[in-house]
Amino acid sequence: MRNLLLGCLLLVCLQSQMNAQFEFGIKGGLSSVDLISDGIKVDDGINHLQLDFVNSAYGHHLGLYSRVSFLGIYLEPAALFNSNMINYRLTDYSEDGVLTVLFREKYYSVDIPLMVGIKAGIFRLYGGPVAHMHISSTSDLTNFSNYGQKFRDASYGYQAGFGFDIWKLRLEVAYEGNLSAFGDHITIDGQPYNFGQSASRVLGSVGYKF
């Protein structure tokens, strides 16, 4: 009896693998960062600064994805090269007066989302965690001696969205939240700061199934 049950279980597993659908492709798109914050205030007796998030240019992402589907449910991991550009305003209140500087920073990372979704016809709903693996960054404030950057090797967030599968095209719109405070890489005179809130993104992607 035990051997019969094990044989039936093995048969079900093999049947599941045979019915599963595998997919591999490329995807890319645009994203926009959104943040509502009072900014960063620095008043330590030496520095009297205000750093504000102004806006973000459209970010870009491009990479590969894979998908395994079974009974209308699918699992989709991906590896995407991602770039974002953020515009800031720095106001320096000194004895010589008020100096305002606009500057930008660019961030580069590899994003690894792991989405679980359901599919009905051409329509999909999905959600799951995403890891951001930091690669590098550039900043216009490198000549400001008080300012520094200390990025984490990885940060984490989550995504939820919907999509459409039309022939070999994969169209998606997703919302992404972050689990860490925005700007937590910023240091001034070695002291870490952040904007006190996490930033969100809206991502639009187009994929192609090989």
Q: How many domains does the chain have?
A: 1
> What is the reported pTM?
0.83
> Can you tell me the distance from the alpha carbon of 112 to that of 48, in angstroms, rounded to the nearest whole number?
39
Q: Which amino acid is at 75?
A: L
Residue 7 lies in a domain: no
Please report, for residues 35, 77, 153, 155, the alpha-carbon distance to residue 109 in angstroms, rounded to integers and kept in the order given. 19, 16, 10, 10
Report pLDDT for 100. Answer: 86
Tokens of 18: 């045979």
Residue 189 lies in a domain: yes
Residue 90 has pLDDT above 90, yes or no: no
Residue 23 has pLDDT above 50, yes or no: yes
Residue 4 lies in a domain: no
The overall average pLDDT reported for the chain is: 86
> Can you tell me the distance from the alpha carbon of 23 to that of 103, in angstroms, rounded to the nearest whole number?
42
Place of tokens 């999905």: 126
Residue 104 has pLDDT above 60, yes or no: yes
**Mean pLDDT score, 71-85:** 95
Residue 75 has pLDDT above 50, yes or no: yes
Tokens of 97: 């007066």
Is the CB of residue 118 less than 8 Å from the CB of residue 133? no
> Can you tell me the distance from the alpha carbon of 68 to that of 52, in angstroms, rounded to the nearest whole number?
43
Helix (H) or strand (E) holding 15: helix 2-19
Residue 6 lies in a domain: no
CATH number at residue 157: 2.40.160.20
**Mean pLDDT score, 65-77:** 94
Residue 39 has pLDDT above 70, yes or no: yes
Residue 190 lies in a domain: yes
> Can you tell me the distance from the alpha carbon of 94 to that of 60, in angstroms, rounded to the nearest whole number?
38
Structure letter (DSSP) for residue 179: S
Residue 177 lies in a domain: yes
- The residue with greater pLDDT, 176 or 103, is 176
Residue 13 lies in a domain: no
Q: 156: helix, coil or strand? A: strand
Domain that residue 107 falls in: 21-209
